[in-house]
Amino acid sequence: MIIESLQFFQIAAERKGIKIELTDSVHQYRIAARPELIKQIFINLFDNWLKYGLPEQTIRVIPKVNKKNELTIDIVGLSIGFSNNDAENIFKMGFRSNEALGKVAQGSGIGLFICKQITEKILDGKIVASHKVKTGESTFRITIPQKKWQL
C-alpha cells in the first residue's frame, strides 16, 4: 500500500523536486485491515508533504519493528513545520496550524483527522507528529501493535 501511494504522487512530487523513498522495500509487512484504509493514510500523509514539504528533498518512509514488537512507520522530511504545541491539534477535524494557514496550498484540515481515526479505530495504533525547528525536519510516526501486523 505504501508503494502504491508513493506511485500515486510520483509525478506531482517530481515537479517539486521531491523524492519519496521507502527505506526497506524488502520486507512485506501485512497489516490486518482493509487495504484501501491503509492506502488512505499514506495518500493523506504524502498529499500533505506535497503541500507543506520543502522542494528539492528526499522524504524517507522508514518501517521498522520496535522493542515492543510494534510496527512503526516514520515519514521524515523537511517541511514548513508546525509548533510542537500544535502536534496533537493537527490531527483534530478542521485544524490547520498557523504555518499551514499562511501557505497558499488548499487544505480542509480533514486529512490528518482521517489518518488518526483509521490508525486508532481500525489498527488500534497511534499516530504522532513532531517538528525540529533547528533542522526543519518533520516526522510523522504511525505505530501498529503486534496483533495487527505480520511479516
Give the model's pLDDT for residue 3.
75
Question: Do residues 143 and 78 make contact, with C-beta atoms less than 8 angstroms apart?
Answer: no
> Tens of pLDDT along 93-132?
977 666 665 565 566 779 999 999 999 999 999 999 999 9
Distance, CA of 15 to CA of 85 (rounded, Å):
32
Give the model's pLDDT for residue 65.
97
For helices 35-52 and 2-15, angle between their N-to-C axes, nearest 10 degrees: 20
Amino acid making up residue 10: Q
Give the model's pLDDT for residue 5.
79
pLDDT mean values, one per 10 residues, the chain (151 residues): 78 89 91 94 91 93 97 96 88 74 64 96 97 96 97 89
Amino acid making up residue 47: D
Give the model's pLDDT for residue 129.
97
Beta bridge partners of residue 65, listed in sequence order = 71
Each domain of the chain, given as residue ranges in start order, spans 2-150
Q: 3-state DSSP: the chain helix, strand, coil percent, rounded to 5?
A: 40, 30, 35
Instruction: Report the top-level CATH class of 2-150.
Output: alpha beta
